Amino acid sequence: KKHANVIPEGFFWGGAVTSFQTEGAWNEDGKGPSIVDARPVKEGQSDWKTAVDFYHRYKEDIALFKEMGFNAYRTSISWSRIFPDGEGEVNEKGLQFYDDLFDEMLTNGIQPVITLYHFDLPLALAEKYNGFASRKVVDLFERYARTLFKRFGHKVKYWLTFNEQNLVLIKPHHWGAKLDGAENEEAFRYQVAHNAFVAHAKAVKALHELVPDGQMAGMVTYQVTYPNTCKPEDAIANMKAKELLVDFYFDVFVNGEYPAYVSKDLERKGIMPIFEPGDAELLKENIVDYLSISYYQSQTVSADKADGKSLIPGMAPNPNLNTNEWGWAIDPIGLRVCLKDMYARYHLPIFITENGIGVREQLDENNTVKDDYRIEYLSEHIKQMKIAMEEGVDVIGYLTWGATDLISSGGQFEKRYGFVFVNRGETDLRDLKRYKKKSFDWYRRVIATNGEEL
């Protein structure tokens, strides 16, 4: 007897990327430089100028995604294509590029899932205002978001505000905010985090006003943590790490206020961020429609290793898990752990918008890559997602990180994630031709059977 599939019809399958890791065309059609373009390039690594040239080759790539059966594709919009300096005049050619791209996706049955901001602030806003350390940039972000919703609201229904917003405390520079000269570093980090929350809430509000059927997510990178041992001290250390790594963000996105475990701590230290009049109401009134995560790995937390100095103290590797070449622990069950926990806490639909494994790869003599390790990684994660769904968790979609290969966040090209091999090296652009890896057909099958055949 055939059992009913736990994955509903209309579930989103596809891949996820960003503008700067795929598009290239870094200074074409009026695009201004972003903080990514200005990053020093490490010796022997790729710059961001060409990436995989998606800007010129998107039709060919989308045809491949269609062949795999994608019904969703996540990318981000490059703010500095739309406003080259982040403020001032809008650049029509930038808007036109995304109009054409979304049309091409929709014609091929692929829903755009769009991140407003993925760590690529217009450089001018970093230089002039120190990025999101300034409320001016919060207002400019709102203007940028409103411009996009007005233009694309009828084409794009699923939006995300900030990529991995929970990195803001650890990496404020991804929000264009340099720590140099901050009187109190911790206070500075929390002020940037607060400004990002305000910007997030303004974007939620704007979407709901301008696109009544639009869905807005808050997103975090869900790094699952376990107590390092069964010592109660480790359980507490783990709980505290999780609060700062993950819960703080979801709690604000969903409950609309700072959770007590953060506000008490900040009050005690005398570093509560400046709330401008109306901030508290804004956070309270603008709640997300769904939650989004990236998930790659897990870690453990040990009370003994907590030195009291690091922002997230006590992180330690897990001796029970294997890692990839970059030391990321492979833990499919961890995905189920976070899905179960999130759903129990928030009861909102969950969209997995990144999951995958980066590997060094080369074309073999048949012009393909036998990436069985990727097939195994992805299928084990999808299996755990399905168990969570059997137990009632409302997951609405699963997007892998990468669809074609792309530049990794650290600027390495040879850390490949795609189903489609892109023929370029770290600095040698070769011919940028696309080749299907073994996982291409595997994912096509997964999507065709709505996740039944893994």
- By annotation, the residues acting in catalysis are 354
Question: Cα 194 to the chain's mean position, in Å?
Answer: 19
Torsion sign over Cα 125, 131, 137, 142: positive
Range 407-422 burial, b when 16+ CB lie within 10 A, else e: bbbebbbbbbbbbbbb
Which CB atom, from 409 or from 450, has the smaller least distance to ligand BG6? 409
Residue 284: how many CA atoms within 13 Å on its side-chain side? 4
How far is the C-alpha of 177 from the C-alpha of 30, rounded, in Å?
25
Given 108, 409, 423, 450, the residue binding ligand BG6 (CB under 6 A): 409
45 binds ligand BG6 per the rule CB under 6 A: no
Q: How far is the CB of 416 from ligand BG6 (least distance, A)?
A: 10
Q: How far is the CB of 346 from ligand BG6 (least distance, A)?
A: 21
Q: How far is the CB of 353 from ligand BG6 (least distance, A)?
A: 9
117 binds ligand BG6 per the rule CB under 6 A: no
Strand partners, 12: 397
Residues 429 and 445: beta-carbon distance below 8 Å: no
> Which one-letter DSSP state was computed for residue 8?
P
Q: How far is the CB of 164 from ligand BG6 (least distance, A)?
A: 5
Residues 379-408 that bind ligand BG6 (CB under 6 A): 401, 408
How far is the C-alpha of 355 from the C-alpha of 374, rounded, in Å?
11
Site string for ligand BG6, 177-216 (x = CB under 6 A): ----------------------------------------
Given 75, 130, 221, 286, the residue binding ligand BG6 (CB under 6 A): 221
Given 410, 433, 449, 453, the residue binding ligand BG6 (CB under 6 A): 410
How far is the C-alpha of 287 from the C-alpha of 285, rounded, in Å?
6
Which CB atom, from 11 or from 20, has the smaller least distance to ligand BG6? 20
Residue nearest to ligand BG6 (CB): 408
Which CB atom, from 97 or from 222, has the smaller least distance to ligand BG6? 222
Site string for ligand BG6, 267-306 (x = CB under 6 A): ---------------------------x------------
With 0-12 CB in 10 A as exposed, 13-18 as middle and 19+ as buried, what is 87? middle
With 0-12 CB in 10 A as exposed, 13-18 as middle and 19+ as buried, what is 367? exposed
Given 415, 416, 424, 436, the residue binding ligand BG6 (CB under 6 A): 415
Q: How far is the CB of 203 from ligand BG6 (least distance, A)?
A: 18
Tracing tokens 């097939």 back to the chain, one arrives at 375
Given 11, 12, 13, 18, the residue binding ligand BG6 (CB under 6 A): 18
How far is the C-alpha of 273 from the C-alpha of 283, rounded, in Å?
14
Site string for ligand BG6, 145-184 (x = CB under 6 A): ------------------xx--------------------
358 binds ligand BG6 per the rule CB under 6 A: yes
How far is the C-alpha of 99 from the C-alpha of 356, rounded, in Å?
28
Closest-CA residue to 19 (of 6, 7, 32):
32
Q: How many residues does the chain have?
A: 454
Which CB atom, from 294 or from 384, has the smaller least distance to ligand BG6? 294
Q: How far is the CB of 410 from ligand BG6 (least distance, A)?
A: 5
How far is the C-alpha of 265 from the C-alpha of 48, rounded, in Å?
40
Q: How far is the CB of 88 from ligand BG6 (least distance, A)?
A: 27
Closest-CA residue to 353 (of 112, 141, 153):
112
Q: Which one-letter amino acid corresponds to residue 392?
A: G
Residues contributing to the site for ligand BG6 (CB under 6 A): 18, 21, 163-164, 221, 294, 354, 358, 401, 408-410, 415
